[in-house]
Amino acid sequence: MVGGKSWFGWLFNRSANKRQTFEFLTPLQEQRLQKLKDRLSVPFDETRPDHREALEALWHASFPETELKALISDQWKEMGWQGPNPSTDFRGCGFVSLENLLFYARTYPASFKRILNKRDGTRATWEYPFAVAGVNVSFMLIQMLELKSAKAKSIPALNFIRLLSEDEEAFDILYCITFELMDAQWLAMEASYMQFKDVLEATKLQLERELSLEDIRRIRDVPAYNLLYR
């Protein structure tokens, strides 16, 4: 299911054309933004018990009826990792990409399982690998929202900070929204594996448009939020 070419070569960064700057952040915005940025700096460490437990939890949430024989196992390929050790794929984004997948599985299990098992639509013969696509979604969001920049400048990034002040889980929920939007784009474009870059770009452009809407006050106001269901 997964080819040998690294998918991280397909990631890109595009800022919105319209730009503005915050005069200041509120204390709550600063606190939550810094907390999120701290999460982004944590690499996945397979020697840490909590990281190993999170990885096991992701497997059990994905395949509750199937026992995971070992943390390094060919079983992981069933989820769409590039090899028997998922830690090699996490290196491109860190522990937050595992947290995102686990949040998705626990918070919107029906949506998670639908996409994991590719239940809807006419699927391509050569499908995108679910898990590695999930890491790509995390990476794309971090770049789009300028979370590793000293100061956000694009309208989508600035609006996201406002959403974060309304809901501390805004980034994780936005991740779930983006994964759903990406899969919807995949089906609409009748894409196959080698077109994933185009699908991800179309997803990013659509998300930028939605995050630039003036009436977005909460993460649940993002139009693509309606794609999610529990």
**Beta carbons within 10 angstroms of residue 210's beta carbon:** 19
Which pLDDT does position 23 carry in this prediction? 53
pLDDT, tens digit, 9 for 90 and up, residues 199-214: 999 999 999 999 999 8
DSSP 126-162: SPPPHHHHHHHHHHHHHHHTTTTSSS--BHHHHHHHH
Q: Report residues of the chain scoring pLDDT below 50.
A: 1-21
Tens-digit pLDDT profile for residues 60-96: 999 999 999 999 999 999 999 999 999 999 988 999 9
Residues of 147-178 as b/e, b for ≥16 C-beta within 10 angstroms? beeeebbbbbbbbbbbbbbeeeebbbbbbbbb
pTM to 2 decimals? 0.88
Percent of the chain beyond pLDDT 90?
A: 79
Tokens, residue 127: 């499908």
